[in-house]
Amino acid sequence: MLDNSFEIESFLNDHEIEMLLKFYSTLPKKLNSGDTKKAYTTGFPIKTIPVKNFISRLKNVFGDFNVTVSMFLEEFIPWTVHSDYPKQDKNPYYALLIPLDYNNKNTHTIIFNELGIDENWKDKLNNESKYKYTDQQLKLLSHVNSDLLKKLSIDKVCKWQKGKMIAWHRNFLHTSDNFSTDGREQKTALVLFLNRDD
C-alpha cells in the first residue's frame, strides 16, 4: 500500500535528466491555462519520452495505471495551493514530479493533509487546523494567503533534488514554495498525472 505522499531518491540519473532537458528544448512551449500565467506546461505523448523503460519503472512503484497528462512544468511564478484531482478524468490516482533544473538553489514542493476533490475545495475548509508552522515553513509559504494557511496542515515538505521522484495522491492539496524570494527566476520538472481503470 502506497503512502498518500512519498519520495524516491535518484529515480532518474544525470544522463536521463540531460536527455529530458534536451527533449524539452525541442518542444514548442505552452503557457498554462487560466487567467494568470505562471508557468509553461508543455505536454507531450508519454510514449515519446526518451528514457529507457520509464513506464515499466513507474509500474514497479505504482502498479497498473494510465498516464492522463505528461508535461514539462517550467514555473516562473510560484504556484499557490491547488489540487490535481478535478481534471475531467476518472479514478484519479497519483501525481508525480521529478525535478530537472532549478539552478541548484533550495526549492520545495509542500504537500498538505487536506483534500481538494472538486473546484470548490476552499469552501469546504471550514475549520482552522491549529497546525504550528515553523518560521522556515512560513517563509516557504509566504506567497499563500494567511487565512487559507490557517486551515491547512503540512504532510510533507519535499526538497527538490535532480532526479528525485516526489509523488502524492491527486486529491491532496499542495503548493510550490515561494522560490522567487531567493532570486530564482524559474524551475523545471517533469510532471505526470496518473489514473486507474478500476
**Sign of the torsion formed by the C-alpha atoms of 115, 121, 126 and 132:** positive
Return the C-alpha cell found at 2.
502506497
Note the pTM of the prediction, 2 decimals.
Answer: 0.95
3-class secondary-structure state, position 169: strand
φ/ψ of 103, rounded to 5, equals 55, 25
The 10 Å Cβ neighbour count of residue 22 is: 10
Give the integer Cα–Cα distance in Å for 44 and 30: 11
Fold of 5-195: Jelly Rolls (2.60.120)
Grid coordinates 514530479 are at which residue? Answer: 97
Return the C-alpha cell found at 188.
523545471
3-class secondary-structure state, position 55: helix
Please tell me the predicted confidence (pLDDT) of residue 34.
80
Please tell me the predicted confidence (pLDDT) of residue 184.
61
Return the C-alpha cell found at 170.
491527486
φ/ψ of 83, rounded to 5, equals -125, 150
Helix (H) or strand (E) holding 108: strand 108-115
**Sign of the torsion formed by the C-alpha atoms of 87, 6, 74 and 13:** negative
Contacts of 171 (CB under 8 A, 6+ apart): 83, 85, 92, 115, 116, 117
Please tell me the predicted confidence (pLDDT) of residue 93.
96
Domain ranges of the chain: 5-195
Q: Where does residue 15 rank: exposed (0-12), middle (13-18), buried (19+ CB within 10 A)?
A: exposed
Please tell me the predicted confidence (pLDDT) of residue 33.
86
Give the integer Cα–Cα distance in Å for 70 and 55: 12
- Mean pLDDT, each 10-residue run in order, the chain (198 residues): 95 98 97 88 97 97 97 95 87 97 92 94 93 97 96 98 98 94 82 91
